[in-house]
Amino acid sequence: MASNTFQLGLSQSQILELVKNTRTLREAFEAGSLPAVAAKLQATLHSLENVRLDIGITGGPGSGKSTFVNAIRGLGDEDPNSARTGVVEMTVEPTPYPHPKYPNVVIWDLPGIGEPTFQAEKYLQRVLVDRYDFFIIITSESFTAKHAQLARGILRRSKGFYFVRSKVDVDMAASRSRRPSTFSKEQVLSQIRDDCLQRLEAEGLEDPKVFLLSMFELGKYDFRLLEESMVKELESRKRHALLVALPNISKPILEKKAASLRQHIWLVAAVACGINPSPVPGVKDVACDLYRLIHSLEGYRRSFGLDKGSLGKLAEQMSQPLHKILDTVQGPKTKVTKELVVDLLGQASRDANAFTQELLNVPALGTLATCGISFATVYQMLRLSLDAVVKDAQSVLMQTFDSSDQ
């Protein structure tokens, strides 16, 4: 039985399921041929990193849909490549906005549904409904028959959708101003939610789910619940694409990102050791593709908002000097270099012998371990590096919370 100190990202049943999906891959594992395994897994890794995800954002004029297109991509309304926003309808045709870090994740700002003669079927044909993985239907006031009509049309196409009631922060401020002595946040939220549900049910929608959001304070209210629903209902590759692209605004999101990335560490390690490996200088018996590892480590930092651009933007948003945020980061504060990866591999190799023995207890990976110490060392390095990145991201998040409370 494997040691308790070794927790593999995938369960044994999940690994075996992946292996048995391809006969050639299974035979490669059984033969213990790491290059053969890696050649098959390289295509899987490429597909995972480049899978396309298209999300359609729609709603009435002034509902905040264009602001949401920006916010979910981690942008402000005035940032470069942001969607145009305004109190009147700004979007005439479906407009794609690729995520600035993950261009395979595309958020579409769709034309509004405010026309008096709105017809869902014509609208869905116009926006090419089949191109989207799911839709988000936004209103800043009450849901109407138009929203319900659109939802039914989407359902008929076997597509998913989510109702979002935006500008909750505006309602909060107005209620607090009118009733300062009796104001209750929970009561206001309950009233808004009940109104949304009642109106949608009155239009014939069964058990509608509505998420209450503030586009300018995305981490508040129901965004976490919306994120959980979106992630849960996507197939695994697209789920991963959405998770790594989500803004880092809560600890649960950080944890879900980490869990998804941990599931693929063995995949990255196999490819790095099996495709174009070269001896690592100063690290005995370890050969791998250092540039693949640089790419992966930079990807971890990018997903958790620890790259230079993200930290600089965060400092600007918080009106703090960049060095104050960097002080909370324990990991590398500059670009990932070949020298850094070699150093990390050297640290990981100290425990590689014991780690290799642990891998031997996992049926699907034991053959990889017998191919040498390289896989175990690379796997260990990636696992420890991801843990360090997550810890830094949590520290930055806490710094953000502390500053916003002041």
What is the DSSP track for 217-246? STTSTTHHHHHHHHHHTS-HHHHHHHHHHS
Task: Give the separation between CA 382 and CA 272, rounded to whole angstroms.
Answer: 11
Q: Are 300 and 389 in contact (CB under 8 A)?
A: yes
Q: What is the DSSP letter of 166?
A: -
- What's the one-letter identity of residue 7? Q
Contact 164, 211 (CB under 8 A): yes
φ/ψ (deg, to 5) at 108: -100, 125
Q: Is the pLDDT of residue 17 over 70?
A: no
Average pLDDT over residues 208-233: 89
Predicted pLDDT of residue 253: 86
- Confidence category of residue 36, pLDDT binned at 50, 70, 90: low
Report the pLDDT averaged over residues 52-78.
89
- State the pLDDT confidence band at 6, using cuts at 50, 70 and 90: very low
Q: In Å, what is the CA distance from 149 to each residue of 93, 123, 279, 307, 311? A: 20, 11, 62, 43, 42
Here the tokens at position 8 are: 């593999």
pLDDT for 14: 43
Classified as helix, coil or strand, 249 is coil
- Residue 187's SS3 state is helix
The DSSP line for 260-298 is HHHTTHHHHHHHHHHSS-EEPTTSTT-EE-HHHHHHHHH
Q: 348-405, pLDDT tens digit by residue?
A: 887 666 666 655 555 555 555 545 678 888 888 999 999 999 999 998 888 776 554 4
Residue (of 205, 227, 217) closest to 120 by Cα position:
205
Mean pLDDT of 96-124: 91
Q: What is the pLDDT of residue 39?
A: 75
CA distances from 85 to 107, 164, 178 (A): 15, 18, 29
Q: Where is pLDDT greater, at 48 or 363?
A: 48
Cβ atoms of 273 and 35 closer than 8 Å: no
CB burial class (10 A; 0-12, 13-18, 19+) of residue 152? middle
Q: At what angle do helices 374-405 and 308-318 cross, to 10 degrees?
A: 10
pTM, rounded to two decimals = 0.82
**Mean pLDDT over each residue of the chain, to the nearest integer:** 82
**DSSP state at residue 305:** T
Q: Where do runs of H (alpha helix) occur along 78-235?
A: 120-126, 145-156, 168-178, 185-202, 223-232
34-43, 187-196, 286-295, 365-374: the lowest-pLDDT one = 365-374
Q: Which amino acid is at 376?
A: A
